[in-house]
Structure 1
Amino acid sequence: MDSTRHTCLRLELTEQVDEKAKDVIFIKGTWFNSHFALSITDGLDAWICNASEDEVEERADQWDQPVSEYIAIAEQYLGFRQPGSTYSFLDAGNGSKRLSWTFEKQGVKLEWRWRCKPSTNNKKTTAEILDFLMDANIRLSEEVVRKTQSTERLKIEAEKCLAQSEKLSSEKEEFESAIYAKFVAVLNSKKAKLRELRDQLSKQEEARKSPQEDASSEKTESYDEDTGNEKSDEEPVESLAGTSKSVPATRQYGRKRKNA
């Protein structure tokens, strides 16, 4: 299906004789995939240019371009004024005008020209252009209103989000402060408990060591006392001479066995 696009260009033209004198024309373009149509008015007179498929194909072949590329470039330059391009709208005889514009391609300056014939109904052609401009202006105004309203809504939402973000940030700081205070309290409590347990273990260790030291001391004293009061294993025996003499028990036992 052949798609249709519409453009309208307000073009200021400078006369070659007097550069200060400027004529204003409006160029309405209707663009198809393989051809286009132009309606031009200066507010008083009007002109039209209907570029057929054959004419467009012939021009595209002259410039060694596909038709789609030729249409795209023409729409680009006649839909929006391009900086650096020279536009002209000069007499071509019999009331016709020659619309031309220049552009560069691969360092070469090119000029495209199209002959525009006088409109058979100036008022109708001019009115169609003005209606299109009015409709476009209304659509743009409505779009501006929608964009403005959308911007205001986004602004309000942004302010709400900012306020909520600040609130959340404040609550987060308060929460972190409270949690930190609780953590410090728990940590100090744990430290105190650990110190208490350490003191208890230290006291229990001292209590275990104290009886062992006392017992060791008692054993040492008992051993010393037993050594000082140790009884002699020697038993008194009567000697042959009738005198008492201590003889070791072992020796006495030996004598008994011998006497036996």
Structure 2
Amino acid sequence: MERKVSRIYLASEPDVVHFLQVAWEKTLGSGFVITLTDGQSAWIGTVREAEISQEADDMAMEKEKYVEELRKALVSGAGPADTYKFNFSKDSCHFSFDKNLKDVSFELGSFNLEKVANPAEVIRKLICDCLDTIAENQAKNEHLQRENERLLRDWNDVQGRFEKCVSAKEAVETDLYKRFVLVLNEKKAKIRSLHKLLNEVQEPEKNMEHERETTTHSEVTSDRDAVYDESTDEESGTPPNPSVLAPATLRRDDSIISSPDVTDIVPSRKRRQRMQKNCGTEPKMASQEH
């Protein structure tokens, strides 16, 4: 059974300290036992689950929310001291507690208690429960402290390993950077040598192409000059050499002689000259001229 002891002050006796103990088996909503004492007298009562459900229905609240309000008021003591106000009548043994919301106060719960005939036994048991709770909390505290020390040692160990890993990482990065610089310098040197070799290979080819272009240009220029000279000679009107034209004339006369049926309709140079001088005269036949 779980127990919780808290210190409260009654509205009728604000200067007297009262101790309130709440004990429950499974959950607070399944029912609990409440014990109240002022150090001289004691009162005890049992609150069943049906009564808790009835109180929640009367307040139009869900049961879970009402049980949470009971926990805050009777067990945990959450909130300011003036949030909950406790009332108890020793004559009627009626216990009630209210909740204050700003200027509004409403009754959160009320129970009927019975006065204990032997309060010393109840008080003794209450003190033993408090001491057991203190011992249990102290044991938990010691366990948590040992666990905290273990976690602190583990954390220091992990931090030391982490620092070693960081140092090793930095050393590896430095070594890799040095190797990378060496490889990079070698690659740069190799690229420069290949570039130099490529330039040496391309230079003769460029010279050959330049010489070829120069030769082609000179040949084209010479051919163009020769053509120009020939056209100039034809236009100058220099009379041809009779020794050169004689064989051609003889060959033409031979062809004419060999072909008696063909008449020469092409006028000779002298006839053309005569025709230019005498425009009104008609040309004579080739046979008569011959």
TM-score bin (small chain): 0.5 to 0.7
- The answer to whether the 8 A contact 1:40-1:48 is kept is yes
TM-score under structure 1 length normalisation: 0.67
1:200 aligns to 2:194 (yes or no):
no
% of aligned pairs identical? 21
Superposed, 1:230-241 pairs within 5 Å as none
Q: For structure 1, which segment, 163-172 or 49-58, has the greater mean C-alpha deviation from structure 2 after superposition?
A: 49-58
* Residue 186 of structure 1, CA deviation: 1.1
CA distance in 2, matches of 1:26, 1:174: 66
SS in 2 for 1:27: strand
Q: Which structure's residues are more often helix, by fraction?
A: 2
- The answer to whether the 8 A contact 1:99-1:116 is kept is yes
* Residue 48 of structure 1, CA deviation: 0.1
Higher relative contact order (CA 8 A, sep 6+): 1
1:132 aligns to 2:124 (yes or no):
no
SS in 1 for 2:106: strand
Query: What letter is aligned with 1:39?
Result: T
Paired residue for 1:156?
153
- The answer to whether the 8 A contact 1:28-1:129 is kept is no
Paired residue for 2:164?
167
The counterpart of 2:86, out of the listed 73, 88, 91, is 88
Query: What letter is aligned with 2:89?
Result: D
CA distance in 1, matches of 2:29, 2:214: 119
Paired residue for 1:147?
144
Q: Label 1:37 to 1:200 Cα distance change in 2 as closer, same or farther (>3 A).
A: same
- The answer to whether the 8 A contact 2:11-2:85 is kept is no
Paired residue for 2:116?
119
- The answer to whether the 8 A contact 2:5-2:21 is kept is yes
1:73 aligns to 2:69 (yes or no):
yes
CA distance in 1, matches of 2:179, 2:65: 74
Q: Which structure's residues are more often strand, by fraction?
A: 1
* Residue 196 of structure 1, CA deviation: 1.3
- The answer to whether the 8 A contact 1:29-1:78 is kept is no
SS in 2 for 1:103: strand
Paired residue for 1:242?
none
5+ long unaligned stretches in structure 2: 219-240, 253-290
- What RMSD, in angstroms, separates the aligned Cα atoms of the two structures? 3.8
Per-residue deviation, residues 75-127 of structure 1 (Å, max 9, x unmatched): 3311122423243353331xx64433211579842123323221133233223
1:64 aligns to 2:60 (yes or no):
yes
CA distance in 2, matches of 1:253, 1:16: 166
Q: Label 1:201 to 1:67 Cα distance change in 2 as closer, same or farther (>3 A).
A: closer
- The answer to whether the 8 A contact 2:86-2:98 is kept is no
Paired residue for 2:221?
none
5+ long unaligned stretches in structure 1: 221-246
